[in-house]
């Protein structure tokens, strides 16, 4: 009995030690950077903005072991333990001994300027008027978001990035980082995304059209009219289905009616936290986005990742993008995730491409 008890105690202590080691390695930290006068690319200036961020792991003494993650269009900046988003967090990819190993790397994630997740947004008070920005929020661009991220990295003491890694909307930021700060990182991993936005203003108009169906829309001034929960919920349901939620939830909810109810429940929970004007602001920031013409500025090595079943960014994009990268002299590799989960493949089937991501990061380190 004593031997069994000692063995059980040893197992418990080992388990606790491992758990503590993982927690220590993650070292999750949250922060807010404030800027009294933030200059935009269009020459305008925003006063008293805040940019929130989260970090995992520890920054090396030389400030050169950081990896930047850029959030998606509709997701929080929290990449781990994410209970705020219906879309899968990156828990399978980020952490001790995982592809993005927090024993090695200092991971930084920044909430987009203009988003609904903490950084200054349309729902915040405009210092110039004393009222919410609403639809009068400045016309920010992708470059402004990149500059906000760079300001956070500078404040943290990051001197050089190992890589910028992100999916979908954030994946476009990966490409932008490569041309805006070509000497600041070793690698770029754009996932389920493209280097240009073919929808342009039509994408903005589509979102406004969907949101304006809500009786409370009022040209975007809905804050004191009860919000636009109905329109946001309907929009989210369509998005989740496009991202493969039906397939993803089939195991847990085999009955189609139950599965539909679960998707609606998750969509409503998301809608309760989302500001419709933020969606307009972020989509508008992408109008005219096209970095292909600047590929010759990219110095980092690229790993371009798409999913076989993604209808938003299909594998048919790869040949042209890869050809243009290589024609510009960029060292670029392509990886296709063999998954049925569409635009959510990078998360749902993380194990199918995690080894390639891990080896890519190792290659970057070995090349130094």
Q: How far apart are CA 186 and CA 361, in angstroms?
A: 9
181 tagged catalytic:
no
Task: Tell me how far CA of residue 120 lies from CA of 153, 274, 345, in angstroms.
Answer: 18, 14, 30
Closest CA to 282 of 145, 118, 190, 150: 145
Backbone angles phi, psi at 308, to 5 degrees: -55, -35
Task: Give dist(CA 69, CA 164) in Å, integer.
Answer: 6
Is residue 343 among the annotated active site residues? yes
Cα–Cα distance for residue pair 33/98, rounded to 1 Å: 29
Residue in 85, 115, 166, 168 annotated catalytic: 168
Active site residue 205: no
| Angstrom distances, CA of residue 108 to CA of 79, 158, 368 | 10, 10, 21
CB-CB contact of 43 with 14 (8 Å): no
What Rg, from alpha-carbon coordinates, does the chain have?
Answer: 21
Total residues found in the chain within this entry: 368
Could you give the CA distance from residue 71 to residue 109 in angstroms, rounded to a whole number? 7
CA dihedral 354→356→359→364, nearest 10 degrees, is -110
Among 310, 339, 345, 349, which one carries the catalytic annotation? Answer: 310
Q: What is the sign, positive or negative, of the torsion defined by CA atoms of 226, 227, 233, 234?
A: positive
Beta 161-167 vs 66-69: how paired, if at all? parallel
Strand partners, 109: 54, 69
Give the span between the Cα atoms of 80 and 92, in whole angstroms. 9
> Distance between CA 78 and CA 97 in Å, rounded?
20
Q: Which two tokens stand for residue 201?
A: 């203003």
**Looking at 112, 173, 181, 343, which residue is catalytic?**
343
Cβ-contact 80, 56 below 8 angstroms: yes
Active-site residues, by number, are 168, 310, 343
């Amino acid at each position: 009995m004593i031997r069994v008890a000692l063995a059980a105690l040893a197992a418990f202590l080992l388990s606790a030690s491992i758990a503590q080691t993982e927690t220590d390695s993650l070292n999750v930290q949250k922060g807010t950077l404030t800027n009294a006068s933030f200059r935009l690319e269009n020459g305008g200036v925003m006063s008293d903005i805040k940019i929130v961020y989260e970090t995992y792991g520890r920054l090396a003494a030389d400030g050169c072991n950081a990896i930047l993650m850029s959030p998606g269009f509709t997701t929080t900046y929290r990449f781990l333990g994410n209970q705020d988003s219906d879309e899968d967090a990156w828990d399978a990819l980020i952490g001790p001994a995982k592809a993005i190993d927090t024993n090695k790397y200092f991971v930084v994630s920044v909430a987009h300027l203009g988003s609904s997740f903490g950084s200054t947004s349309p729902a915040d008070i405009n210092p110039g008027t004393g009222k919410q920005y609403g639809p009068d929020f400045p016309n920010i661009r992708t470059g402004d978001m990149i500059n906000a991220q760079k300001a956070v990295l500078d404040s943290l003491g990051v001197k050089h990035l190992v890589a910028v890694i992100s999916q979908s909307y954030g994946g476009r930021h990966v490409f932008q980082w490569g041309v805006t700060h070509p000497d600041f990182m070793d690698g770029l991993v754009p996932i389920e995304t493209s280097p240009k936005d073919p929808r342009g203003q039509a994408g903005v108009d589509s979102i406004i059209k969907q949101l304006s169906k809500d009786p409370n829309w009022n040209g975007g001034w809905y804050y004191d009219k009860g919000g636009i929960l109905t329109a946001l919920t309907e929009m989210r349901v369509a998005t989740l289905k496009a991202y493969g939620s039906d397939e993803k939830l089939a195991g847990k909810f085999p009955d189609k009616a139950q599965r539909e109810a679960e998707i609606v429940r998750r969509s409503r929970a998301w809608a309760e936290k989302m500001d419709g004007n933020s969606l307009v602001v972020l989509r508008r920031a992408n109008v005219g986005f096209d970095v292909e013409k600047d590929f010759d500025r990219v110095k980092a090595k690229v790993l371009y990742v798409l999913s076989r079943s993604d209808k938003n960014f299909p594998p048919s994009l790869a040949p042209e993008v890869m050809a243009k990268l290589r024609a510009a002299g960029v060292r670029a590799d392509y990886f296709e995730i063999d998954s049925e989960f569409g635009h959510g493949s990078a998360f749902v089937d993380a194990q199918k491409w995690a080894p390639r991501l891990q080896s890519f990061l190792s290659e970057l380190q070995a090349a130094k």
